[in-house]
A and B are shown apart, each in its own frame.
Chain A
Amino acid sequence: MDHLLPPEIADADRAFPEALAACGDLDALLRLKGAYIGREGSHAARLMDLLKAAPKEQKRDLGAAINGLKNRWEEALKARQAEVEAARKATGAQLWDKSLPPPLPPRGALHPLNRLMDRLVDVFRPLGFHVEEGPEVETEAHNFDGLNIPADHPARGSADTFYLAGHPGLLLRTHTSPVQVRTLKNLAPKILEMGGIRFLAPGRVYRKDEIDPTHSPMFHQVEGMLVGHDIGMHHLKGTLEYALRALFGPTTEIRLRPSYFPFVEPGCEVDVSCPLCGAKGCRVCKGSGWVEILGAGLIHPNVLSLAGIDPAEWSGWAFGMGVERMAMMLSQTPDLRLFFENDQRFLKAMGGLD
């Protein structure tokens, strides 16, 4: 039946295997495909024109011939395309020098301070603590008054606290404790149905300290607070013992020492057995085996009253922890400024990813 086909088609068909083999890439292959079986101007298109014009008695045979030819081309093109694509992949495989380490996917890092704060949240979650946050620009009422800090307290001075020009009552919060005031006020109306209040408040705080290896005008704190019925120092101690053991290991011991903060009564400093030397005594703990880790106490009844919570019914504890201080202690990072320099090598090494 092939005799029915015009000679140039027969020539093209003869040339087809070689042309196909010469197609080294997808682009060349697509152009060959266009020339043979494309919708317009291709050999197949010419054949379709031929078929239309053919006498009726030839149509059946010619049609079959054309179909056979087209199918052959189509299949061969498809097979070649698969070959080209496979070859493209194989090229990569052959180039792989198996003695080289495999390329790793890109890997960034969380900031070590954020990582530490996340970790603290993780530790307190099982006890039912959630996270509360507040603005960095605060009112004097939230930052000082609501925390039982006297009106003539030196921390209120412009030598210690940053104030906003044009807004005399606004300042950059000097601790995360104003989140206590906000949260107590917000939750006071539904404290009974909530069965008390317990939360952590991680965040950035500001104090007017010149930048040096141990000071920064911006740093981080994590505040913790719990309000319930009949809450005493034993609950503070129990919670901190649990949390600090979760952070530093099950053999960790804690020690409470009396101290003073205007917003708690009784107040205490909390030491943890040195996690670096196992309390044997080292440079970090100055040979004492203990490191100071946070300040805490039972919420001062004035703080509860000011927020609209009856201190005769409710009581609670609060603690505040310096994140940089803890990070420096744990990592023995010698200079606080490294945390704000953000060198990628530091971030990768100190922050990393879980």
Chain B
Amino acid sequence: MWIERRALAAELPAVASLGTRPLAETLASLGFPVDAIEARPGTEVLDVDITANRGDAMSHRGLARDLAARLQQPLAVLLPSPVAEGEPQLPVRLLARACPIYATALLTLGKGRTPEMAQAFLTALGAAPKLLPAVDASNELLHRYGHPTHAFDADRIRGAVSVRMARPGETLVTLDGVERKLSPEDLVIADEGGPIALAGVMGGEGSKVTAKTRRVLLESAWFEARTVRATAHRHGLHTDASQRFGRGADAAMVPVARDLLIHRLEDWSGATLEGAWTAGAMPPPPSTVDLPKELLTRVAGEPLHLAEAAKALKALGCTVEAEPGHLRVLPPTWRHDLTLPEDLAEEVLRLRGYEHIPAVLPPLEGPPQPLSRDYLQRQALARRLAHLGFHQTVTYGFVSPEMDAAFPGPRGEAADEDRAGRTLTNPLGLEYSILRRSLVPSLVEVAKQNLKQGQREVRLFEIAPTFRGLSRGPVETWTVALVWAGERWDADPESKAGPVMAKHLLGTLKDVLKSTNQELAIHPIEDGAFLVAEFPIQAFRTPDDRIIPAFTPHSRFPAVERDLSLVVPATLTWQAMHDAVWIALVGTVLVDVACADLYQGKNLPAGTKAWLLRLTFQAMDRTLVGAEVDAWVASALNAAESLGAQLRA
């Protein structure tokens, strides 16, 4: 909201001698940060941020009130001479609870124009003057005092005026020229021909003041905040008026704003007052709130005197009665946000300045809680993958339907019949419309971008939830996905770069999946250009381990290694050989079976390959002798031969 310096000083003369920078700092320390300061002809304007709870501060007068309380300086007099009311010139009926009071006046306009000063004020705030005194004066009052008013062309009003809820099927063309279909929840001002204004939001085209207008009917009313908010929201009409009524207007301003408007029209245009009158009565005042001393002390962090609190609250317009141990506080009519003791404590601290709050670490009242295993496991996994050369990515949780169809996800569902349950009602666009069931399509996309950017090797991973659309709603599973693409590049000029092969990713998976017996699946995407793997993270869960595992003794006697050079069928798997040898040597002191060398080449018969099988034996209690080892090696060879292996000649 824009605030003009001179207009602020008109409400609080003390502001005139305050520099713009100290003024902005004072406003910020009261909870009204200044986003920008701009120069205007002969003055400066400040863009002040007003929080949603402070509708009362949405004007020069409103901010001046808080500044006056802080600076302990007096405000200017608001209304020197109230207008005397008379008999209604026109019946005004209040038919809805949402409008308890409606002050009005009938005036015949003169020939005068909007004064230069008022025009300059409106222009400085970015509100173009209309050069119609009735419109400009209402607008100027709104910015200066915060209470929205309206002027109707009295000669275009048919019969009695009522404030009522709209009737089904009624419409209204608002000032912006749009025809609005009204809802029975919209509060309207109506004449005998139907609605002429959306109460507290916008006037109607049919009754608006123009250059030809001779007589005006003024409106200064109080409309319930909730009703105005709903109407503004329903019609997408967020106006200066709806923002102020919608946050709660000051009912006490109803007659005051009407009188100020009359005075302006008399001054500016030479208007003649035909009569002023009010329908309805003031809404009930806010309730009193108690502020106990203990609560104030607790919130403030140090004992504050209730007398000091009372002084602060009075400065803000509250009526305060001191009672033993607490204050009994009646908030002013403009403060709808003061309903709890905490609200009052905040006011006391705010006026005093948050810089006076002491800084104290809260004492520990119970034992600290450990980090959850799930969380720790994810952190460890991310660190391990990063140390293995993978880069952690963060991609959006939603994807396009095409991307969603591209990969089945960590649980391997082939179909995507659950997609409806993962679809957003109001996505940013189709490309961000489905909660993803797999991280892979997003990762592959990122990998492609990286290759396009000239990266020789791309190693990426992401740890994020994936979604399944169940009937009760989407279910989330923490998931890890990896992609490896490009050349395997180890930065050693003496070793050759080569394409990434599945075994490289498998090795990584084996490392990070350690204790799981999950089947390690690598998926080649786009003919193997991208190797990917994806797993739900529960799969990694390890049993609750000890800090240090139970001691396992190791042998202090020498190990004996024996090699068997075998020619085996090309189709034979290492796992089969490994298992067969272990089974054949159960009960012996075999400690390892490894393939020490692989040979595939023209020296071998077709359909075969050669493995150098290395057996390691070691006993816990003695040095092994040649003969017993020979016997075990012979058994191993028998087992190998049963799989079609032959000793190489």
| Contact between A342 and B446, CB atoms less than 8 A apart | yes
| Contact between A31 and B648, CB atoms less than 8 A apart | yes
A130: chain B residues within 8 A (beta carbon): 368-372
Please tell me if A269 contacts chain B, counting CB pairs below 8 Å: yes
Please tell me if A57 contacts chain B, counting CB pairs below 8 Å: no
| Contact between A96 and B391, CB atoms less than 8 A apart | no
Please tell me if A242 contacts chain B, counting CB pairs below 8 Å: yes
The residue from B29, B375, B390 contacting A131, defined by CB atoms under 8 A apart = B375
Please tell me if A228 contacts chain B, counting CB pairs below 8 Å: yes
A105: chain B residues within 8 A (beta carbon): 389
A233 nearest in chain B by CB position: B357
| Contact between B298 and A106, CB atoms less than 8 A apart | no
Please tell me if B460 contacts chain A, counting CB pairs below 8 Å: yes
The residue from A109, A208, A235 contacting B391, defined by CB atoms under 8 A apart = A109
**Interchain CA distance A239-B364 in the complex, whole Å:** 12
The residue from B355, B372, B390, B423 contacting A164, defined by CB atoms under 8 A apart = B423
Q: Of B87-95, B278-286, B424-432, which binds chain A?
A: B424-432
| Contact between A347 and B391, CB atoms less than 8 A apart | yes
| Contact between B421 and A344, CB atoms less than 8 A apart | no
How many whole Å from A337's CB to the nearest CB in chain B?
11
Please tell me if A8 contacts chain B, counting CB pairs below 8 Å: no
| Contact between B391 and A342, CB atoms less than 8 A apart | yes
Q: Of B487-495, B531-539, B552-560, which binds chain A?
A: B487-495
Please tell me if B54 contacts chain A, counting CB pairs below 8 Å: yes
| Contact between A137 and B359, CB atoms less than 8 A apart | no
The residue from A92, A208, A239, A354 contacting B428, defined by CB atoms under 8 A apart = A208
B370 nearest in chain A by CB position: A130
| Contact between B354 and A260, CB atoms less than 8 A apart | no
B426 nearest in chain A by CB position: A158
Given known A-B contacts A131-B375, A217-B428, A260-B52, A351 and B392 have beta carbons under 8 A apart: yes
| Contact between B349 and A234, CB atoms less than 8 A apart | no
Please tell me if B144 contacts chain A, counting CB pairs below 8 Å: no
How many whole Å from A101's CB to the nearest CB in chain B?
9
**Interchain CA distance A154-B30 in the complex, whole Å:** 25
A39: chain B residues within 8 A (beta carbon): 647
- Which parts of B591-639 form the interface with A (CB within 8 Å)? 597, 599, 603, 610, 612
- Which parts of B392-413 form the interface with A (CB within 8 Å)? 392-398
B359: chain A residues within 8 A (beta carbon): 234, 237-238, 241
Please tell me if A249 contacts chain B, counting CB pairs below 8 Å: no
Please tell me if A308 contacts chain B, counting CB pairs below 8 Å: no
A239: chain B residues within 8 A (beta carbon): 361-362
Please tell me if A257 contacts chain B, counting CB pairs below 8 Å: yes
How many whole Å from B36's CB to the nearest CB in chain A?
10
A41: chain B residues within 8 A (beta carbon): 649
| Contact between A266 and B342, CB atoms less than 8 A apart | yes
Please tell me if A280 contacts chain B, counting CB pairs below 8 Å: no
Given known A-B contacts A96-B494, A108-B387, A237-B357, A347 and B473 have beta carbons under 8 A apart: no
The residue from B230, B298, B491, B649 contacting A31, defined by CB atoms under 8 A apart = B649
A260 nearest in chain B by CB position: B51
**Interchain CA distance A256-B300 in the complex, whole Å:** 13
Q: Of B39-47, B114-122, B450-458, which binds chain A?
A: B450-458
A341: chain B residues within 8 A (beta carbon): 446, 449
Please tell me if B101 contacts chain A, counting CB pairs below 8 Å: no
| Contact between A103 and B491, CB atoms less than 8 A apart | yes
How many whole Å from A55's CB to the nearest CB in chain B?
27
Number of interface residues, chain A, beta carbon within 8 A: 104
| Contact between A108 and B421, CB atoms less than 8 A apart | no
Given known A-B contacts A108-B388, A137-B473, A342-B394, A260 and B420 have beta carbons under 8 A apart: no
**Interchain CA distance A50-B357 in the complex, whole Å:** 104
| Contact between A118 and B420, CB atoms less than 8 A apart | no
A30: chain B residues within 8 A (beta carbon): 563, 565, 612, 648
| Contact between A232 and B423, CB atoms less than 8 A apart | no
Given known A-B contacts A162-B426, A208-B428, A344 and B372 have beta carbons under 8 A apart: no
Given known A-B contacts A195-B366, A342-B460, A108 and B390 have beta carbons under 8 A apart: yes
The residue from B33, B386, B422 contacting A108, defined by CB atoms under 8 A apart = B386
A192 nearest in chain B by CB position: B366
Please tell me if A14 contacts chain B, counting CB pairs below 8 Å: no
**Interchain CA distance A344-B29 in the complex, whole Å:** 43
How many whole Å from A158's CB to the nearest CB in chain B?
5
| Residue interface bits B339-370, CB-to-A below 8 A is 1, else 0 | 01011011001100011011111111111111
Q: Which of B354, B361, B446, B494 has the most CB of A within 10 A?
A: B354
**Interchain CA distance A133-B30 in the complex, whole Å:** 35
Q: Which of B393, B396, B599 has the most CB of A within 10 A?
A: B393
How many whole Å from A301's CB to the nearest CB in chain B?
6
Please tell me if A167 contacts chain B, counting CB pairs below 8 Å: yes
Given known A-B contacts A131-B375, A195-B364, A195-B366, A165 and B420 have beta carbons under 8 A apart: yes
**Interchain CA distance A242-B359 in the complex, whole Å:** 9
| Contact between B226 and A162, CB atoms less than 8 A apart | no
| Residue interface bits B111-152, CB-to-A below 8 A is 1, else 0 | 000000000000000000000000000000000000000000
| Contact between B230 and A152, CB atoms less than 8 A apart | yes
Please tell me if A4 contacts chain B, counting CB pairs below 8 Å: no
| Contact between A340 and B395, CB atoms less than 8 A apart | yes
B54: chain A residues within 8 A (beta carbon): 260
Please tell me if A321 contacts chain B, counting CB pairs below 8 Å: no
B446 nearest in chain A by CB position: A342
Please tell me if A272 contacts chain B, counting CB pairs below 8 Å: no
B367: chain A residues within 8 A (beta carbon): 128, 194-195
**Interchain CA distance A245-B354 in the complex, whole Å:** 19
**Interchain CA distance A128-B441 in the complex, whole Å:** 39
Please tell me if B382 contacts chain A, counting CB pairs below 8 Å: yes
A31 nearest in chain B by CB position: B648
| Contact between B391 and A256, CB atoms less than 8 A apart | no
Please tell me if A353 contacts chain B, counting CB pairs below 8 Å: yes
- Which parts of B226-249 form the interface with A (CB within 8 Å)? 226, 229-230, 233
Please tell me if A322 contacts chain B, counting CB pairs below 8 Å: no
Q: Which of B33, B233, B359, B474 has the most CB of A within 10 A?
A: B359
**Interchain CA distance A39-B428 in the complex, whole Å:** 75
Please tell me if A278 contacts chain B, counting CB pairs below 8 Å: no
| Contact between A343 and B453, CB atoms less than 8 A apart | yes
How many whole Å from B247's CB to the nearest CB in chain A?
11
**Interchain CA distance A293-B363 in the complex, whole Å:** 25
| Residue interface bits A216-250, CB-to-B below 8 A is 1, else 0 | 01100000001011111111011101100000000
**Interchain CA distance A241-B362 in the complex, whole Å:** 12
The residue from B300, B386, B492 contacting A103, defined by CB atoms under 8 A apart = B492
The residue from B31, B297, B391, B421 contacting A166, defined by CB atoms under 8 A apart = B421
| Contact between A164 and B366, CB atoms less than 8 A apart | no
| Contact between B394 and A128, CB atoms less than 8 A apart | no
| Contact between A35 and B649, CB atoms less than 8 A apart | yes
Q: Which of A137, A229, A239 has the most CB of B within 10 A?
A: A137
Please tell me if B383 contacts chain A, counting CB pairs below 8 Å: yes
Please tell me if A16 contacts chain B, counting CB pairs below 8 Å: no
Task: With A103-B492, A137-B473, A259-B31 given, name 16 new contacts (CB 8 A).
Answer: A121-B371, A130-B368, A165-B423, A194-B366, A228-B363, A231-B298, A233-B301, A233-B354, A235-B360, A235-B361, A256-B355, A257-B28, A258-B30, A347-B393, A348-B391, A353-B387
Q: 30 interchain pairs (CB within 8 A)?
A: A27-B597, A33-B565, A97-B494, A103-B490, A106-B490, A110-B392, A111-B392, A137-B467, A162-B427, A163-B425, A167-B474, A170-B473, A206-B397, A211-B428, A228-B362, A228-B363, A233-B300, A233-B354, A235-B361, A237-B301, A237-B357, A237-B358, A238-B358, A258-B346, A260-B51, A260-B53, A269-B33, A340-B396, A342-B391, A353-B387
**Residues of A in contact with B (beta carbons under 8 Å apart):** 26-27, 30-31, 33-35, 38-41, 92, 95-97, 100, 103-111, 113-114, 118, 121, 125, 127-131, 133, 135-137, 152, 154, 157-158, 162-167, 170, 172, 193-196, 199, 204, 206, 208, 210-211, 217-218, 226, 228-235, 237-239, 241-242, 255-260, 265-269, 298, 300-301, 315, 339-345, 347-348, 351, 353-354
In the A-B complex, the 8 residue pairs with the closest CB atoms: A195-B366, A234-B301, A106-B389, A258-B31, A103-B492, A195-B365, A266-B346, A128-B368
